[in-house]
Amino acid sequence: MPVTIEIPTAFRRFTDGAPKLDCSAATIAEALDELTSRFPDLGRHVRDDQGQIRQFLNVYLNEEDIRFLGGESCSLKEGDRLLLVPSIAGGSEL
C-alpha cells in the first residue's frame, strides 16, 4: 500500500480534479516533490520562492501536524496519509 496524498478541493483545479495521489516517497519532502512534479501548476501553492512549504499551507501526516513531527524530513511508511490543508481567508486568492 503506497503513501497517499489527499488533495483539498481548493487545489483540485491544479490536479485535473484528482482528489489524491499515491506515491512511494520515503519522506514528506519527497512526497511533496512528487506531487508538484506530477502537477507543476500546484507547485507555487505548495512551496514559496525559497522552496519552503507555504506559510498558509498546513500539512498533516496521519492527523498529526508535520511541524511537530520533524517537518519535511519526517520519514514515511506504506499506508501513511498526507493531508494538505490550505488556510483560506476572505479576500485571498489561490
Share of the chain above pLDDT 90, in %: 87
- Prediction pTM value: 0.88
Residues 20-30 as b/e (b if ≥16 CB within 10 A, e otherwise) read: ebebebebbbb
Q: What is the pLDDT of residues 19-61, one digit of tens each?
A: 999 999 999 999 999 999 999 999 999 999 999 999 999 999 9
Phi first, then psi: what are they for 59, rounded to 5°? -120, 130
Coil/strand/helix, residue 73: helix
User: Strand 64-65 relative to strand 57-61: parallel, antiparallel, unpaired?
Assistant: antiparallel
pLDDT at 92 over 70: no
Q: Determine the CATH number of domain 3-86.
A: 3.10.20.30
Angstrom distance (rounded) from CA 60 to CA 58: 7
